[in-house]
Structure 1
């Protein structure tokens, strides 16, 4: 098993081990070959009798299911897994592809449980709360910074028009269009 395969198989099998329902679903497709492709990377896997993924499947064997991930899959996996699953293309046996999609979409990492096995329940809980607070503060700070930048660009620097200015301009365009239509009607009456 090469490093890339270990980086995929070990964490996924850990999640499957923590979710007995996932192993049960995958066990129904024991022996199936799966190929994951992302750009130039290819990983060949096989579902074993226990419902886990085994790396190093024979690359020359035509896979039962092929999963093609978008090029930005590492970022999507960390930030927005649902968009990763919707951008992934599955081909091959429909029942196996559907099972894999369901399992990958619903696997959840019990980070606090894994952390508790290393440092204990109470410190793990406190670390998770601190991490959540830090993440929330960073997200809120980023949102405030974006709002401040937008205000600077529209209000103070004049680089962009503000929403109020755009609305006023569109109103003036509507008035001009109506005035032009009335003028056109008057001109047509004069020439008739």
Structure 2
């Protein structure tokens, strides 16, 4: 007898639950600003990433998943800034998987979610390089707040929990699903 994932019920609920309330425009803009700050913090830890982005100065990247959109522009410093909502994107990235649980499952298996890419090939190659090579050193940032030993212990606990979750997801994945980008 096949067992269902406990998340399948939640997934069905989220897909069928209408969400008529949208956050106010100021809340969306502020959340975008916070994401840009986080992305720039991570980019600054990798000099080659900022060099690559600096070569793409002024180029606009539009990312979308379902009704959520995010538009950024590369700066001369090799960082990101929010782009004008009316700016024509040089590159559009659309996550094609609609289920947040399927995306999480793919990520937990070490795969990237399926993405439709349209636009400048060189900019797409740079974004792909960034996605493959730039990683946030969370433990280093936490150590600045709570000290080295507690940060290390916290991250080790998170890694153990993540591995357990990854094993759980791998056992529940349907046979033949790879989660790779077409």
TM-score, normalising length from structure 1? 0.63
Gap runs ≥5 in structure 2? 1-25, 173-182
2:132 is equivalent to residue 105 of structure 1: yes
Structure 1 runs (4+) deviating above 6 angstroms are none
- What SS does the corresponding residue of 2:128 show, helix, strand or coil? helix
What is the match of residue 28 of structure 1? 55
Q: 1:119 to 1:77 in 2, by over 3 A?
A: farther
Equivalent positions of 1:2-17 (< 5 A) are 2-17=29-44
Equivalent positions of 1:129-144 (< 5 A) are 129-136=156-163, 142=168
Report how far residue 26 of structure 1 moved: 0.7
Contact 2:108-2:166 at 8 Å conserved across structures:
no
Larger radius of gyration: 1
Q: 1:3 to 1:79 in 2, by over 3 A?
A: farther
Report how far residue 132 of structure 1 moved: 2.9
TM-score, normalising length from structure 2? 0.66
Matches of 1:66 and 1:137, distance apart in 2: 34
Quick one: higher RCO (CA 8 Å, sep 6+), 1 or 2?
A: 2
Contact 1:32-1:64 at 8 Å conserved across structures:
yes
CA RMSD in angstroms, aligned pairs only = 2.7
Give the structure with the larger helix fraction. Answer: 1
Q: 1:103 to 1:81 in 2, by over 3 A?
A: farther
Q: 1:99 to 1:122 in 2, by over 3 A?
A: same
What is the aligned counterpart of 1:114 among 117, 122, 141?
141
